[in-house]
Structure 1
Amino acid sequence: MTHAAAPYRRRFFRMMLGMGIAAGIAAPFAACASRTFPFIPDHYTFSQRQVQDAVSRKFPYRHSVSQLFDVALTNPLVGFEPQANRVTVRLDAHVTSPFLQQPVDGAFTLSSALEYDSTQRAVVLRSPSVEHVDVAGEARSYRQQIEAAGALAAAQWLDGYPIYTFKPEELQFAGVNYEPGTITILSNGIRVQIVER
């Protein structure tokens, strides 16, 4: 029985060897025909936690507006707006002014687009704007000025701020250079397409 099985095994191994050689010859041509190799990711996804950690490093923030208001922004909370393809950042605000009998606490909500900055090799916040200001008490009469302070803070402090910086090896595979393409905001993260440069 062993002798009868031996020729079958030899034929089987020869057939597998032939298929392996053929695949080895064909593989380089398949790689040449394709723009990307199968093992190269076509995108990266960043979680809300990663974005939250990056933004949190930028705070607390304090700013004085024309000697009228001192605004302190703390406790950033990152959110996503997939339908608008934007990132939101909610901030606690502490406002003091000689015009206010006592400091006022409230909240700002900022909204920002995302963009790839090739100089920094990073995905950055771009053109953040104030979406909502929530203040109570006597500070309501100064809402416009407080909102302006928040807008100034957003423009000066967060515009161009990197939320993820790519390592060189993340954008180079088999001697081919890649770069981030379309950036899509998901409900629970950010998806960055990777395309050949």
Structure 2
Amino acid sequence: MIRTATRVSRRAFLLAACAAAGSAMSLGACATGIFPFIPDHYTFSQQQVQEAVQRKFPYHRSMQQIFDVSLANPVVTLLPDRNRVAVRLDVHLESPLAQEPVNGAFTMSSELAYDAQSRAVVLRSPSVDSVDMAGNAAAYAQQVNAVAALVATQLLNNYPVYTFKPEQLQFAGVNYEPGTITILTNGIRVQIVEK
């Protein structure tokens, strides 16, 4: 109850300050021009997530000296109906046990969460959704599944896709933090709430 009263009094103070700034200026202009108000949400784009994930690739790893795996060309897709982000990766597999290199792709999806320590929205608990291996490569789907699971748990779990600047989460000595994260068709909306 005290917290609500404090929040209301802060808002009243800020509105009064805007009004005092001058009658020639509209309240909307005051809110965006003079005071760097904390909005009730931030939205960042699919492209920003794409750029963040892309920094992790290409990726190369030897697995138990049997397989050499290369991952490249991540493609990020937003899944608003599941409130998840999907990442599709091309996979190239070479092994002395295989007659020729194997190519395919797999898709994983992840929920998003806020990590307070790094002030970042991160991929959380990604899981493999599908493995696509064509022709003779289908025989290696099990190995690619293992690689995909490894990438999901070790490479992309808790990987930051958007980091807040300190000034985005503080105003007039009041600290704010991200709340509910919602995947939209055109971006990711992060609610901002008072701590």
TM band (smaller chain): 0.7 to 0.9
- Cα distance in 2, alignment partners of residues 61 and 154 from structure 1: 13
Highest Rg: 1 or 2?
1
- Cα distance in 2, alignment partners of residues 182 and 36 from structure 1: 27
Determine the structure 1 residue equivalent to 2:184. Answer: 186
Counterparts of 1:132-143 in structure 2 under 5 Å? 132-143=130-141
Determine the structure 1 residue equivalent to 2:86. Answer: 88
Task: Please identify, of 38-47 and 112-121, the stretch whose mean Cα deviation from structure 2 is larger.
Answer: 38-47
One of 145, 162, 179 as aligned partner of 1:147: 145
The residue identity in structure 1 corresponding to 2:151 is A
- Cα distance in 1, alignment partners of residues 81 and 66 from structure 2: 37
- Cα distance in 1, alignment partners of residues 60 and 12 from structure 2: 49
Q: Is the 8 A contact 1:100 1:139 kept in 2?
A: no
Residue 40 of structure 1 and its aligned partner are, at CA, apart by 2.6
The residue identity in structure 1 corresponding to 2:153 is A
RMSD: 2.0
Q: Is the 8 A contact 2:38 2:168 kept in 1?
A: no
Residue 64 of structure 1 and its aligned partner are, at CA, apart by 2.1
- Cα distance in 2, alignment partners of residues 189 and 54 from structure 1: 14
User: Which stretches in structure 1 are left out of the alignment for 5+ residues?
Assistant: 1-28
Residue 99 of structure 2 aligns to a residue whose secondary structure is: coil
State the TM-score, normalized to the length of structure 2.
Answer: 0.81
Q: How many residues align?
A: 169
**CA deviation vs aligned residue, 1:94-151 (integer Å, no higher than 9, x gap):** 1111121111111111101100001111000111111111112322122112111111
State the TM-score, normalized to the length of structure 1.
Answer: 0.80
Counterparts of 1:96-107 in structure 2 under 5 Å? 96-107=94-105
Determine the structure 1 residue equivalent to 2:128. Answer: 130
- Cα distance in 1, alignment partners of residues 192 and 99 from structure 2: 54
Matched, 1:164 2:141: no
- Cα distance in 2, alignment partners of residues 155 and 110 from structure 1: 11
Percent identity at matched positions? 64
Residue 68 of structure 1 and its aligned partner are, at CA, apart by 2.3
Task: Please identify, of 172-181 and 129-138, the stretch whose mean Cα deviation from structure 2 is larger.
Answer: 129-138
Determine the structure 2 residue equivalent to 1:62. Answer: 60
- Cα distance in 2, alignment partners of residues 196 and 90 from structure 1: 36
Residue 41 of structure 1 aligns to a residue whose secondary structure is: coil
Q: Is the 8 A contact 2:87 2:108 kept in 1?
A: yes
User: Which stretches in structure 2 are left out of the alignment for 5+ residues?
Assistant: 1-5, 15-30, 32-36
Question: CA separation of 1:114/1:36 partners in 2, compared to 1, >3 Å: closer, same or farther?
Answer: farther
Residue 65 of structure 1 and its aligned partner are, at CA, apart by 2.2
Matched, 1:32 2:33: no
Residue 170 of structure 1 aligns to a residue whose secondary structure is: helix
Task: Please identify, of 135-144 and 30-39, the stretch whose mean Cα deviation from structure 2 is larger.
Answer: 30-39
